[in-house]
Chain A
C-alpha cells in the first residue's frame, strides 16, 4: 500500500542521501577549527521514533541515524553507489554474490576497529525476531537465509559470511542490481556489539557508530544533540555540535527560525500556507521530490476493470487547472510514474494521459456509458491527513461530472481507516467493501525505477492494491529487475511505464515539492536542482557566527 509514510520515506531518502553524500569522495579535511553549533529542527515528531538502525522507519529517524551510523556503501551526488565502510566490492554469480572489502582503518567513534565481523553481527541483529517491527525484512529479505533468522528458525543468516577481518560475502536468493541501493537504507548499518551489549535497553542514549557524528545527549521527548565523531574516516567534522529539537508543529519551527533559534527548518515538514511569506528569503529553498500522488483504480471489478473507463477518467482530468489553480502550484503536475530526476524518467510519457475532453467522452461511450448514462455509483476514497486531498477530490468530482456526466461520491476517511480499507481492497478487490478508486502516494525508498514500476504495478506485488495486471508489463519489469547493465535496464522500465500509463494503471496527479529554510551563515550544504538535498561533505560544513 502506498500510505502516508511515503512522504516520510521520501524525505528519509533525501536525508539519507544528504548525509551519505556527506562522506563522499573528498579526502580527510585538514584539521580545521571548530565552527558554531548547527541548530536543525526535526518537525512532525515529539520524540525521535527510533535511533537503533534496524528500527529506522520514520524519516526523522532515518535522518538522525544517517548522521550517526553508516553502512557498507552510500549514495553519491549523482545517485550512484559509492564506497563507505567498504572501500570496494566485487559482484559475482551474475549479481547473486557480493564480496565487500572493508576499509582497513575503519573505526567506531570510540576508536574501536571495525571488521567484517561487526557488519555480520549488525545484519544478524537486524533480522533477529525482536526487530521484526523494523525494516530489514522489507529491504533486505533477498539475502539468503535472512527470513529464517527473522522467523526464529536460524540464529545467523546463512548468506552472510565473514571471509576474513576485511572481507564480507553476502549471497542473495535472486540476482539483484538494486541490492546495493537497499544497503544504503539504515537497516544494515554497522553498530558496535560492545556498545549494544554494555547497555542493551538504553545504548542509543549515547549511540555511536561509524557516521560523522555521535550522540552527546538524547533528551527524550525534547531534543537530541550530536557531536563530531573524531574517528570519522573522512576526518572530524568542523561543526561543534548539532542540536536537533523535536517540534511537532512546523509552524512553531518556522517561528523559531524567524526569531533566530534555528539554522535549518522544514526538512521534515513545512507550513505550506507560509511559503509566500518566506519565498523571497535567500535562505528559502524549494525542490522537487521523488514523490508521486496518484489515483489508483480497483481493476478487479466494474466499472474500472474496463480499460476504456479508466482512460476516460484519466483524459477528463485537466491537471494544469488542478495543480495551478486548485493547489496554487504548491506541487508540480505529474504525468509519469517515474518522477523527474530519477534514472529512467521519460518526459515523452507525459503526453500519454493528456487532457482531452472529447476523447474522454468518446472512450466512455465506447465503454457502454454514453454521456455517463447508467454509470454505476462509485466513490473516490481519500484520507483526511493530507490537506491537498479534499481540494483535489472536489475539483476532480466537478471535472468528471462536467466532462463525462458521471457522479462520483467522495469518501473521506481518517488515515488509519483508509489504510485498513486499502489493505482490504488489496486482499479481496471483489469484496463489497473494497474501494472503487482512491488517491494515494508513493515516495522513493531508493532512487531506482524498480521501486516505482515493478514494486507498484507488477501483478501480485504487495503495493499493487488495485490489482492492475498486464502480462507484457510483467515480462518487461521481470527482465529489467535482473538486468545488470543500467543503460539496457532503463528502457525496459520506460516501456513498462508506457504500458501502465496507457492502460491507466496509475493516474499520476502531482510530484511533491519540499520547502526548506537554511540560514545563509550555514556553509557547505548544497541544495541541488533536483532537490536531492545537500550534496554535503560533513567535514566541510560550517556555521558562521
Chain B
C-alpha cells in the first residue's frame, strides 16, 4: 500500500503543476482584461498602463507564469484584484470551513437518509413501496436546486405570514440557518445514494455467497446486515470520496442564493471579474482536494475490501 501512496503523492505534484499551467494559459487566452474591470467605467490610458505594470500584466505570459509559480512555492497566493485589501489566502481560508461545514452536514444527511431508503427499496423489490420510494428518489435527484429553493422560500414566507414558526431564508452562523441549504444540497444526493444502494443491494443479493449464507440457515436479518449490506456499501465509498472533494470548493448555487460565505461563490465570481489570483487559487484547491480524496478513497477501499488487497 505504501507503494500506492508514494506513487500517488508523486503524481500529485505533476497534477498540480499541470493544473496551474492550464489554468494560467486558459485565463490568459480568455478575452477580458482585469485592469479594465478594476477601473470600472473610468477610462484613463495612463492609469491603465500604470496598473498593468503594477500587477505585472505587461510582462510576457511565460514570465508572468514563472513569477506566479515562484510566489506559489513560497506560499504567496497574491492579492485579489477585486478585493484589493485582501490577500487571496485569507479569502479562501474564510470560505473553506464554511463550505466544508455545509457540505459535510449535507453529505451526512444524504447518507443517513439515502442508504436506508435504498436498502428498504431493495428488500421491497418490485412492490408498490419500492416503486414509490424510487419515484420520489428519482424526483429528488432530477429537480435542480434553483427550482427547489424558490419553492422552499414560498412555503417559508407563507408560514411566516401565517404567524407560524418559519426558518431564516438566508445567512450563516446560526444553526437554524443551516436547515434550508442542507435540505436543498442533500436532496439530490439522497436520491442518488438511494438509487445506488438499491441496485448495489440487488446485485449482491444475487451472489453465490448470499445463497450459501441462506443455505446455512442464517436468519434473514443476519444475511442482510452481515453479508449483503456490508458488500453493497462498497460502491458508495467510491462515490463519497470525490463528493467530499467537491465539498471544500463549495456549492455555487446554494451558497449564492442562501448568502453563505463559502468558496463556491467566490470561485465563480472571480471568473467573471478576471480575478486571476483567486481563479488560480480555487482551481488548485479543487485539484488538490480531488487528488487527495481519490487517494483516501483508494486506501479506504483497500482496507474495506480484502479482494482488492489481494491484487
Which of A's residues lie within 8 Å of B, judged by CB? 1-6, 8-9, 46-47, 49-52, 55, 57-58, 129, 132-135, 137-138, 150-151, 204, 219-222, 245-249, 251-253, 255-256, 258-261, 414-417, 419-420, 423, 426-427, 441-443, 445, 462-463, 465
Contacts and interface: CB of A to CB of B under 8 A. Distances in A.
Question: Among B42, B44, B95, which residue has the most Cβ atoms of chain A within 10 A?
Answer: B42
A84 to B, nearest CB: 24
B261 A5 contact: no
Contact of B41 (A46, A246, A442): A442
Nearest to A220: B94
Contacts of A245: 171, 259
Nearest to A57: B40
Given A50-B83, A462-B44, A247 B259 contact: yes
A481 B20 CA distance: 50
A426 B168 contact: no
Given A249-B256, A445-B42, 17 more contacts: A47-B261, A134-B84, A135-B42, A138-B39, A138-B42, A204-B85, A219-B261, A245-B259, A248-B265, A255-B157, A255-B169, A415-B32, A416-B36, A417-B31, A419-B33, A420-B36, A462-B43
B76 to A, nearest CB: 14
A146 B8 CA distance: 55
Given A47-B91, A50-B83, A419-B36, A249 B51 contact: no
Nearest to B35: A133
B83 A47 contact: yes
A256 B41 contact: no
Interface in B133-169: 153, 156-157, 160, 166, 168-169
A256 B169 contact: yes
29 contacts: A1-B36, A1-B42, A3-B36, A3-B41, A5-B42, A6-B41, A9-B41, A47-B266, A57-B40, A129-B54, A133-B54, A137-B47, A220-B90, A220-B261, A221-B94, A222-B261, A246-B259, A246-B261, A252-B258, A256-B169, A256-B170, A258-B160, A259-B160, A259-B166, A414-B32, A416-B30, A416-B274, A419-B32, A463-B42
Nearest to A464: B43
A259 B85 contact: no
Contacts of B309: none
B157 A465 contact: no
Contacts of B227: none
Nearest to A443: B41
B41 A4 contact: yes
B302 interface: no
Nearest to A139: B42
B300 to A, nearest CB: 32
A443 B54 CA distance: 28
Nearest to A46: B265
A416 B272 contact: yes
B156 A259 contact: yes
B86 interface: yes
B306 interface: no
Given A414-B32, A420-B33, A55 B40 contact: no
A232 B281 CA distance: 42
A258 B256 CA distance: 19
Contacts of A443: 41
Interface string B22-66: 000000001111001111111111010011001000000000000
A55 B33 contact: no
Contacts of B38: 57, 133
A238 to B, nearest CB: 26
Contacts of A252: 169-170, 257-259
Contacts of A47: 83, 86, 91, 261, 266
B33 A423 contact: yes
B43 A465 contact: yes
Interface string B6-28: 00000000000000000000000
Contact of A133 (B41, B51, B95, B98): B51
Given A4-B41, A260-B160, A46 B166 contact: no
Which 9 A-B pairs rank lowest in CB-CB distance, beginning with the nearest? A416-B32, A5-B40, A462-B43, A221-B261, A3-B41, A417-B31, A255-B169, A5-B41, A222-B261
A9 B269 contact: no
Nearest to B53: A132
B43 A420 contact: no
B85 A55 contact: yes
A429 to B, nearest CB: 14
Interface string B68-87: 00000000000001111110
Contacts of B95: 221
A270 to B, nearest CB: 16
B172 interface: yes
B175 interface: no
Contacts of A9: 40-41
Interface string B253-284: 00011110100011001001110000000000
A57 B273 CA distance: 14
B282 to A, nearest CB: 13
A253 B256 CA distance: 11
Question: Among A47, A247, A248, which residue has the most Cβ atoms of chain B within 10 A?
Answer: A47
A132 B40 contact: no
A442 B42 CA distance: 10
Contacts of B217: none
A334 B43 CA distance: 24
A132 B79 CA distance: 14
A134 B153 CA distance: 39
Contacts of B272: 414-416
A462 B50 contact: no
A256 B269 contact: no
A320 B222 CA distance: 77
B50 A46 contact: no
B219 interface: no
Contacts of B85: 50-52, 55, 204
B148 to A, nearest CB: 14
Contacts of B32: 414-417, 419-420
Contacts of A259: 156-157, 160, 166, 168-169
